[in-house]
Structure 1
Amino acid sequence: MSSPISGSSFVFDNVYIQSVATTAGIVEYQGPLGHYFDKHYPDHYHHNVSYEQAEIEMLKDALLICLKNGKVKKEEIDFYFGGDLNNQLTACYYYANHLHRPFIGLYSACSTIGLALANASIMIENHNIHKAIACTVSHNATAERQFRYPLEYGIQRKETMTFTATGSVAVYLSNKPSSIRIESITLGKVIDYDQYDANDMGRAMAPAALDTYLQHMKDLKRDGTYYDLILTGDLSHYGKTIMKDLLKEENQKYNEYDDCGCLLYDVTQNVYQGGSGPVCNALVSFGYIYKMMLQGKYKRVLVLATGALLNPVMTNQKLSIPCVCHGYVLEVVV
């Protein structure tokens, strides 16, 4: 049975990854990690009539590939956990009726995969369920329409902006031993450092990443050198620099640190500061890092999934942007 160490962190003995699946958009496929993804699409529409319907298709493909890789039927999954960036979790709920199992919709912005993994892991560890899938999906065009302006507006971009990643990821978890497990999680607090610029997510989210990092190390009585890699979600280049400065101010030591938003794209691609969105963290963690762990490059990785909990209505009312970070540890089973 799992029990919280401090009310924030949980350590697990019996939560294992059985299979993963990744689908990616054309820009993500053209990036340096493109060949690690299971499926990619030729354009933003994916042969659909709208961006939203294309997003639903990406989620469908990721779930079906994950189920196939895990050799399990969709009806055999106890619970599905997931979310997206659209109002009312449109992409997830519009496909959930095809699963014929309970779907737990979650919203934690770009940190949604961390929250989904946490909920699934706690229930599996405590024997409430045996099989679960954590998933997320995002689409650059639907996110722009949701939080800023439709792409067709052609607005001027700010230097500090990030690029919402297009794709979907599904992770099948169970209590059956496998090569890699979810060793622990640290659920983050909502942190608001009075940042108001919706076009500067890296600055807003970095304090939340640091808070969860410090809480994780305190709870588990570890330091950064315990891990082969510390990986933040989508701070991208600007936010990554801030995070490194914050870690230095806290006298934190670590072996290697990087950010998913920096790894997903090449500097020559027109993605501004780098990647963001729920699938940014998920694509890098489970499309690339997971496979590197299977190949023996990493044994323990702490992933800090960051999310800016902004709402366009509140942003237009000149309110600051609350942020959160949910951490999870991927560990090779010896």
Structure 2
Amino acid sequence: MLIGKQSWQYTSRPVICATGTVGGPFEAAGALPQAFDVLHDDIWVGQESFEKAQTVFVEEAVKTALKKASLTTDDVQFMLAGDLLNQLTPSSFAARTLQIPYMGLFGACATSMEGLAIGAMMVHTQAAEHVVAVASSHHSATEKQFRYPTEYGGQKPPTAQWTATAAGAAVLTGSGQGPRVTGATIGRVVDMGMSDPFNMGGAMAPAAADTIARHFTDFNRTPEDYDLIVTGDLGQIGLPVARDLLKQKGYMLDHDLFGDCGLMLYKASQSVFAGASGPGCSAAVTYGHLLNEMTKQGWQRILVVATGALLSPLSYQQKESIPCIAHAAVIETDGGGHHL
């Protein structure tokens, strides 16, 4: 179970039996509209606030995944959920509606793989038969909390990223057909002293490199053991920094092998600055795109390294630097090859 210093190996190979992804209008116009089960043409989704809209996204992602798995909420023992907003209110309010026993997680944009890793451990140890892990974000709600409301129209630097309006859920179980979670590496907090909230990619890159290098050491693997290694939302700034840091550690990751969910979600013509971000970005791209690409491309093993900046409006106001973290999950195929 524990392998190396900070990794888990799941010998029972928990199965991702179904997924559910929900996106907004900007995501519908992006590069991966086919990755979403549900796409809305209104970021409000009929609600009176962006925060309530994000709650709807979480509920829909979970319900979609459960429907595809032919399960009900009563069949699920635990829901692991997280987002970026104050005290995880969208996740908690969705759990209020869904009535699945709930644990809220905060790993910032790394929450997607944190939830997948913990959920896989629960299934692996037979602490649960079915677990749902979900992560979400909402562009306008996040902007309002961490930066400026969109109505303000503040100028952003080119290092800024666009928070995705998206949610992604995965149902984990102990048997059946589907991609399998076979390992995880839990990251350390890495803080290189950066304090610019408009350069999350640069701040998170050292944490991503630290977790990836530790993963290779703990599992005694090299980059060549993977068909794809993808980070959560390092974007145009952070991804090359992480690549250079890994090169310094002796790991060469070429452009075909090493990618980023934040660079996949939108088109080049969309004004997203350095790329996409948010817990919903890595969750939706992984569960709605990469898992299907494993079947389509014949990939056997991928490593998803979700990246998170652990700042808050309060820590920024107090002029603190930005602690960052990255959590990695290994996903392998079992020959099932069905659409999630």
Q: What TM-score does the superposition give when structure 1 sets the normalisation length?
A: 0.97
Correspondence 1:71-90 to 2 at 5 A:
71-90=70-89
Paired residue secondary structure (2:60): helix
Counterpart of 2:184 in structure 1 is 185
2:338 match: none
Question: Whole-Å Cα distance in 2 between the matches of residues 119 and 261 of structure 1?
Answer: 23
Gaps of 5+ in 2: 336-340
Deviation at 1:139, TM superposition (A): 0.1
Structure 1, unmatched stretches of 5+, are: none
Q: Secondary structure at the residue paired with 1:96?
A: helix
Once the two structures are TM-superposed, the CA of residue 149 in structure 1 deviates from its matched residue by 1.2
Shift of 1:123: 1.2
Paired residues of 1:179 and 1:294 also in contact (CA < 8 A): no
Contact kept in structure 1, 2:35 and 2:284, CA below 8 Å: no
Aligned residue in 1 for 2:325:
324
Aligned-partner residue type, residue 111 of structure 2: T
RMSD in angstroms over aligned alpha carbons? 1.1
Please name the residue that 1:53 is paired with: 52
The 5-angstrom pairing of residues 130-279 of structure 1 reads 130-254=129-253, 256-279=257-280
| Mapped contact 1:75–1:99 kept (Cα < 8 A) | no
Determine whether 1:116 maps to 2:76: no
**Secondary structure at the counterpart of residue 266 of structure 2:** coil
Question: Which residue identity does 1:299 align to in structure 2?
Answer: Q
Choose 301-310 or 10-19, whichever is displaced more. Answer: 10-19
Task: State the partner residue of 1:289.
Answer: 290
Q: Distance in 2 between matches of 1:46 and 1:328?
A: 32
Instruction: Name the counterpart of 2:306.
Output: 305
In the TM superposition, what is the alpha-carbon distance from 1:127 to its structure 2 partner? 1.0
Matched with 1:127 is: 126
Q: Which residue of 2 aligns with 1:25?
A: 24
Write the distance in 1 (CA, Å) between the matches of 2:306 and 2:246: 16
| Distance apart, 1:7 and its partner CA | 4.1
Deviations for 1:228-259, whole angstroms, at most 9, x for unmatched residues? Answer: 00101100011112112222222313461111
| Equivalent in the alignment of 2:90 | 91
How many angstroms apart in 2 are the aligned matches of 1:289 and 1:18?
15
**In the aligned structure 1, how far is the partner of 2:315 from the partner of 2:224?**
40
Of all paired residues, the percent bearing the same amino acid is 37
Render the CA deviation track for 1:249-302: whole Å, top value 9, x for unaligned. Answer: 223134611111111111110111000000111111111111111224321100
One-letter code of the match for 2:287? F
Is the 2:5–2:218 contact (alpha carbons within 8 Å) kept by the matching residues of 1? no
Distance in 2 of aligned mates of 1:284 and 1:297: 18
Q: TM (normalized to structure 2)?
A: 0.95
Q: Distance in 2 between matches of 1:312 and 1:99?
A: 29
Partner SS, residue 110 of structure 2: helix
- Ranges of 4+ aligned residues in structure 1 off by more than 3 Å: none
